[in-house]
Structure 1
Amino acid sequence: MRTKILLSAALLALPLMGSGEAQARSLGKILFDSGLSPNDISVMETAAQQLFEPMGRTGDARRWSNPASRSKGAVTLGRIDGNCAELVHRVSTVKRPDPATFRTWRCRTADGAWRVSPGPE
């Protein structure tokens, strides 16, 4: 379970989009600043998976919320490039009520698994 939470949280370790420019930040700092709980990340991950498994279309979106933490957001399928899909997350938490946007990539590996990736190769 801890591995799944850390792997799911790794999607947040990719660049955080804010004030028009990407800032590379440590996973711990992103999680602390965002106010996302491990359960929030799990709910967000479930919503994201519905977009790329099976592969949706650019612009498809899923909303998510966690009543326990009052965190909420939406994930939108961005670009699709070969075996990779861009995911655009908009997240609001009690700690950070103004939505933050995270862009991440998932790529399908040769064994068919989806992995967090820096993007298409």
Structure 2
Amino acid sequence: MKYVLTLLLALGAAASLPPAPEAQNLSKILAQSGLSPVDFDLMAAAEAALLGQNGPGKGQEKSWSNPKSESRGTVQAIAVQGNCAELLHLIHPKGQPKQVELRKKMCKSADGRWLLTL
């Protein structure tokens, strides 16, 4: 799940960057996001805590912050239906003028794992 979150955050960060005349590789996009690897780990931990074993209630929120990188964020369950939750990450990378929003839908599988869905 950590790698999926990293990829989604990179794509979300890429969407907030000005268009480039040529394609950029993922490592460059991640470097420009202003987030450190520890930030991504903290973000994933906040999401896992929000989802928990039984799933979140609508409106529930978890926060994370990294004093070393000065980045911070929250993840909130903006909709819950059955075994699925729509999550909104609001990310404040250090040095970036705007917050980054990332929306994703997670559903709990029969074996109890939370999986990214379309």
Which TM class, normalised by the smaller chain length?
0.7 to 0.9
Partner AA of 1:111 in structure 2: D
Moved more, 70-79 or 108-117: 108-117
Mapped to 2, the partners of 1:110 and 1:14 lie a distance apart of 28
Q: CA deviation at 1:33?
A: 3.5
Task: State whether residues 80 and 86 of structure 1, in contact with CA within 8 Å, keep that contact through their aligned partners in structure 2.
Answer: yes
What are structure 1's unaligned runs of at least 5 residues? 19-25
Partner AA of 2:6 in structure 1: A
Q: CA deviation at 1:78?
A: 1.2
Encode CA deviations 1:46-104: one digit per residue, 9 max, x unaligned: 11112211322111111110111111011111111222111101111123142111111
- In terms of fraction of residues, the more strand-rich structure is 1
Partner AA of 1:51 in structure 2: L
Mapped to 2, the partners of 1:105 and 1:9 lie a distance apart of 15
Taking only aligned residues, the RMSD between alpha carbons, in angstroms, comes to: 2.5
Task: State whether residues 10 and 27 of structure 1, in contact with CA within 8 Å, keep that contact through their aligned partners in structure 2.
Answer: no
Partner AA of 1:107 in structure 2: C
Identity among equivalent pairs (%) = 36
Moved more, 93-102 or 27-36: 27-36
Instruction: Normalising by structure 2, report the TM-score.
Output: 0.75
What are structure 2's unaligned runs of at least 5 residues? 17-23
- How many residues in Structure 1 have an aligned counterpart in Structure 2? 108
Q: Secondary structure at the match of 1:10?
A: helix
Structure 1 residues 15 and 117: alpha-carbon distance in aligned structure 2, compared to 1, 3 A threshold: farther
Map of 1:84 onto structure 2: 84
Structure 1 residues 6 and 70: alpha-carbon distance in aligned structure 2, compared to 1, 3 A threshold: same
| Structure 1 runs of 4+ with >6 Å offset | none
